[in-house]
Each structure stands twice: as structure tokens, then as C-alpha cells.
Amino acid sequence: MTMSGGGGRDSESAIDNELAYLRNRVKELEAENAKLLSQVSSCQCQQMEVPVLDSGNFVRRSRRGRKRVDKSIPIHLISKRYVALKIMYFGKRFYGFSAEAQMEPSIESEIFKALERTRLLVGDIKESNYSRCGRTDKGVSSTGQVIALFVRSRLKTPSIVSEINARPEYDYVRVLNRALPDDIRVLGWSPVPDDFHARFSCSAREYKYFFWRQNLNLSAMDIAGKKFIGEHDFRNFCKMDVANVHCYTRRVTFFEVSPCQNSHEGDQLCTFTMRGSAFLWHQVRAMVAVLFMIGQGVESVDVIDTLLDTKKTPKKPQYLLASEIPLVLRTCEFENVNFICSSGALESLRSHFKKESLTYQLESVIFQEALRNCLPIGNDEISCNIDEKKKKAAIHVPLLSRPTEPSYEERSAKLKPRQEETCPV
């Protein structure tokens, strides 16, 4: 439909006037912005700096590696809020969650790189009041890790009691996920009070450990696993850190062995699920290792009672931990913390997880194809393999007959002289 006569000329004139006004307004804003930048650059107060991870510590550097200060906005003028972030990660390629071990890559370092790229981090690591719920080891994954820290906010006076959906806050989930690698994702965020601590405010943690059933006795493992429920001294089911941990009593509130929906060539995928207020270093993997021995029939169910009785068994028998890859920190639970995720960010998460799942299934198909293309095994080789398995079962040394590790008291006594040597006179 076309316009004719004076009406068309009036419309064109109105558009030209509007464009002229906008051009003038843009020039005014540019001049005002230049004036403000000049004032800020001459300000002598504390300036906002961009922290990145360097040798386990967060320092301020430019993209080229030179130390620099971003003088655009003083820190005290930046609006920020204290939030908890719920994190998922696939741990296979990482050297654990924590960046303090100075082994790269770590999940924590990748998260802080994303916070830096998105300019959500205000100040340095100390100023952010950062805390984490769990410090998972190399190769361990999580679908519910939680961290807490101060991040930049759009709100001038953020409040945890304000109606979040009614305010134009940053979509933290979507913003961070765009800057994170494919095997790390933020699942949600929640405003929390300033005295919140991701580790000490956690009321419960739940782990899952996946495994193929094969010939394992699930009933025996379930009976044995339920002996962990309650408050016990787990020093025989962990890696002792006597320099930092002096109490090895922990409370397990739930244990279950259950089959999953997945199966492969007639073998059922199963899982151990265990929940407790807190867990020791390598505790879950140690518990699973002993449960596997029970499931294989080479250890009695009663061995759990014996190992939990630290008066009867003060020293831990030497045994290998279960593999770290199938272990997942499923969830960390808190009171009055409700995680938020926008509909757009949720849709992106679902699409991403579906894509990643299909990718890993394709990789699995390639390995299955390689398996089918292997040369056939002759009858002699089959009988040799059977004999090898029988030998391995026959040479199993009972846990209570194995060499033991030093007791807590022995480790502590050995540590004291070292501490005295390092203490200044």
C-alpha cells in the first residue's frame, strides 16, 4: 500500500527530523561519556582489576599477559550481589575441581576464566568471598557442585528477598555458559546471604557411583553397604590427611544399590547411591572398592564391621581405590536456597546436554565397531584367559591379612618433628 499527496511528504519529514534528533543525541552522549572517562581515569581511589588464574593464585593481567589495571570503573561503584552457582562438569579431562593444586586444567580455573571474560567477577578472589562445596578429585564429575561468590549485578541495591523475576538482573546461567567449555555448565543461580558458605552451609551431599553388574552379587553388596549407614569412624575407608583432618567420624544417612535403565549386550548398568553430611578424602572410592570385593565373593559382608571398628582394626589394610571416572557428586543440599534458571537458558542447557550425549554415544559406537573388527580368539587363547582369571581369583589376599598403612597416631607422631622444624624460633 502506497501513500500519496501531502501525507507521504509529512511522514518523510517526520522521519528526517527524528533521525536528526538521534544523531545529535548520540553526539551529546559520546561527549558526556568522554568527560566521565576522563574523570574516572584521574581518580586515585581503588580501581577495578581483572583477575585471572596464575599458578593457583588469581592475579591481574591483560590478555597479552602483562599486569594491568582496568580504570574504567572504581570497584566501590560497581553494584554486586552474593550468589550461589550450581555447577555441572564432566571430570575426565580435568585435574580435579580445585585450582590450588596448580595442575591444569582444573574446573575451578575454567570457571574463573569465564567469570573474567564476562566481567562478572568484581575485584580479586579474596574480595569475591569465594567458597566451594566439594573438592572433587581428578576425573570425578558432578551434576550439582555449588560455589558462592560476589558477582556484578544490574541492581543498585540487590536483595535476596526481592522478586527476582520482576527485576532486570543478569541471566547469569546463559552469560557464563557462553564462556565455558562444553564439559562445564552452570545449571542455576540463587541469591544467598553474605554469611552463606558453600562448604559449611551444606546440609547433605549425595554421590552416585556407576558400574556394570557383570557377575557381582548385588544383594551382598547392598547388605554390606547398609552397614555404612550411621555415624562411624571411616579412617579405614579414606586417605588420611593428618595435617588438616583430626576427626574421621562421618555420618552416612542413605545407601542403596540399584539397577539403571541402561544395558549393553545383556550387561546391566547399576549404581551405588550414598548420602551424608560430609565425606572424607577418597572415602566413596574406598567404600566402593571394598564393596566390589564383597560382590566378587572374595570378601565377607562382615569385613565392613571389622574395618569400621577402629579399636579392633586401627590400621587400614592396603588396597586399591575404585576408579574415579564413574563417580559423580550428584547434588549438594542447602536450606532456603532455590536455584533459578531462565526458560531461555534452560532450553539451551537441554539442547547442549542432548548434543553432548549423542556425541559420546557416537564415540561409543566407534569403539564397538573396533571390537567387532578384532581378530577372532582361538580355543587355546580362550582357555588361557579362563585360567588367568582363575589364578587372579585364587591369589586374592584377604583384606585383614594384608600389610597395613601407618595408623593416625603414627602419622601424627611423624608429622610433629617436621612441623617443629618449619616453625620459626
Q: Active-site residue numbers?
A: 137
Distance CA 271, CA 265 (A): 18
* Residues 33-39: contacts with CB under 8 Å, at least 24 apart: 37/72
* First CA to last CA distance, the chain: 93
Do residues 156 and 79 lie in contact, with contact meaning Cβ atoms separated by under 8 Å? Answer: yes
Do residues 203 and 137 lie in contact, with contact meaning Cβ atoms separated by under 8 Å? Answer: no
- Residue 389: exposure state from Cβ atoms within 10 A (0-12, 13-18, ≥19): exposed
Do residues 270 and 295 lie in contact, with contact meaning Cβ atoms separated by under 8 Å? Answer: no
Q: How far is CA 179 from the centre of its chain?
A: 16
Distance CA 419, CA 425 (A): 12
Which residues have a Cβ under 8 Å from the Cβ of 149 and sit 6 or more positions away?
A: 82, 83, 85, 121, 128, 129, 130, 131
H-helix or E-strand spanning residue 58: strand 57-60
Distance CA 30, CA 32 (A): 5
H-helix or E-strand spanning residue 39: helix 6-41
Closest by CA position to 116, among listed 99, 133, 102:
99
Helix axes 283-295, 218-225, angle to 10 degrees: 140
Do residues 73 and 112 lie in contact, with contact meaning Cβ atoms separated by under 8 Å? Answer: no
Distance CA 405, CA 305 (A): 19
Quick one: residue 123, left, alpha or beta (phi over 0 = left, psi -120 to 50 = alpha)? Answer: left
Do residues 222 and 270 lie in contact, with contact meaning Cβ atoms separated by under 8 Å? Answer: no
